[in-house]
Structure 1
């Protein structure tokens, strides 16, 4: 056992960030009801006795055989923005690529998820629900990955795309990729944000605001906030309002069909890491609309 302990750090690796540990903990809880578990070491202890009429404890050799399992993680890009007519590649990486099925799923706002394609053990993708008919959807399977390419983008391609890995009875989902196709008709919707806030200092508080104007499809909206920090390749989702229609008011003009919805994101006790551009995205009427972003500058020391 001493030898195993000495070599453990060299051969046994466990995830060391909360983001990486969360989906693995979920796997162990679902398959074995184990809480807060990120890995298991299973050992078999066998005593081997020396061929002697009177063996002493020193002649008994303990033999340990160990194996490990630490779950698996599915990684996706959080946001992809492209123009109508462009092509986009949605990537999906899994830390497990043996005896697994990987599936791509599309979900439009307010609609049920629809299966796009699957791949078993790196085989060519199999399409479902007519996604192969247009010839715009292609898949690329490789060890540990199953990517989806959409060419000649259309407004209807704007949606959330999930990648999931299926192993035996367990399904692990990625966090999803939001695909926004710009240049699509916006059904008389507009999203307004204040472009720049006055500079604030660490410890201050501020409220970001997003106003949605719509002349049709009044009702529930799903509102998402993204933050794009300096040096980050893609914005990341930081908050969602869920379905909210109670923050909307009709225009004061009697005959006007315009409805104004205001959504706020309070930020308290700011730190330098909160600086960046905050984007408001509104899912409504089967589309996702983005504001132009609000720049938050934080100056000074704590």
Structure 2
């Protein structure tokens, strides 16, 4: 079985990916060039990069067999010169040039050891500069344990057919993992079209109520909106839990 076929078999078996380690955030602007770093131990023979987009199945980006150093790409990335890799002894870095809105996603590298895929830290790529905007309120909030708070996410975008979903995830401090904590599903009923004649824009408002807060709820909460073929991220709301 070829390297690419083996990797495709693995990715087809993945409905979700449990990173198992904290994810880090990487902020960039549309059009920037970014490098996502992956370091792997000597026991891994095949190393792969995956793209995880909220609401979709994981996508295989590239795979390398460390003993010959040749990287392979599935068709959708093979024909895209914006995606390249750099490999060497113990590393397999992914380069994305001229970033586009649909590049916003979580990227995870993993290595195979004794037929088991071992995933490394994920990198959440957040891109700014789209004509569409996501506004989160409040910017920060300080509460006491046991209190309640409602986080707000408003998106201004054009109307379009298809799925329009919102996801919330928390980026904690230290070893707290980043992951999706809530999804609104397809909720276009929470959108209002612009009253201006001929306008194709709309504003959608989503709320995340948090009740009976504890110290473990502290962190920065981000909303991610899947709309019109793009994933849009808010700037985040920092929630601080003060000790009594």
Give me the TM-score of the superposition, normalised by structure 2.
0.70
Aligned positions of 1:1-302 closer than 5 A? 77-94=23-40, 97-98=42-43, 100-107=45-52, 113-121=58-66, 123-128=68-73, 129=75, 130-131=77-78, 134=81, 137-143=84-90, 145-167=91-113, 169-174=115-120, 176-183=122-129, 185-186=130-131, 189-196=132-139, 199-229=142-172, 236-241=178-183, 243-245=185-187, 247-251=189-193, 253=195, 257-301=200-244
Displacement of 1:101 in angstroms is: 0.9
Listed as ranges, the gaps of 5+ residues in structure 1 are: 1-72
Please give the root-mean-square deviation of Cα atoms over the aligned residues, in Å.
3.7
Q: Cα 1:269–1:103, aligned 2, differ >3 Å: closer, same or farther?
A: same
Asked whether the equivalents of residues 78 and 235 of structure 1 are also in contact (C-alpha less than 8 Å), the reply is: no
Instruction: Name the larger-Rg structure.
Output: 1
Larger RCO of the pair (alpha carbons < 8 Å, separation 6+) = 2
Query: How many angstroms apart in 1 are the aligned matches of 2:115 and 2:30?
Result: 39
Q: Cα 1:243–1:75, aligned 2, differ >3 Å: closer, same or farther?
A: same
Query: How many angstroms apart in 2 are the aligned matches of 1:111 and 1:229?
Result: 24
Listed as ranges, the gaps of 5+ residues in structure 2 are: 1-18
Higher strand share: 2
Asked whether the equivalents of residues 125 and 139 of structure 1 are also in contact (C-alpha less than 8 Å), the reply is: no
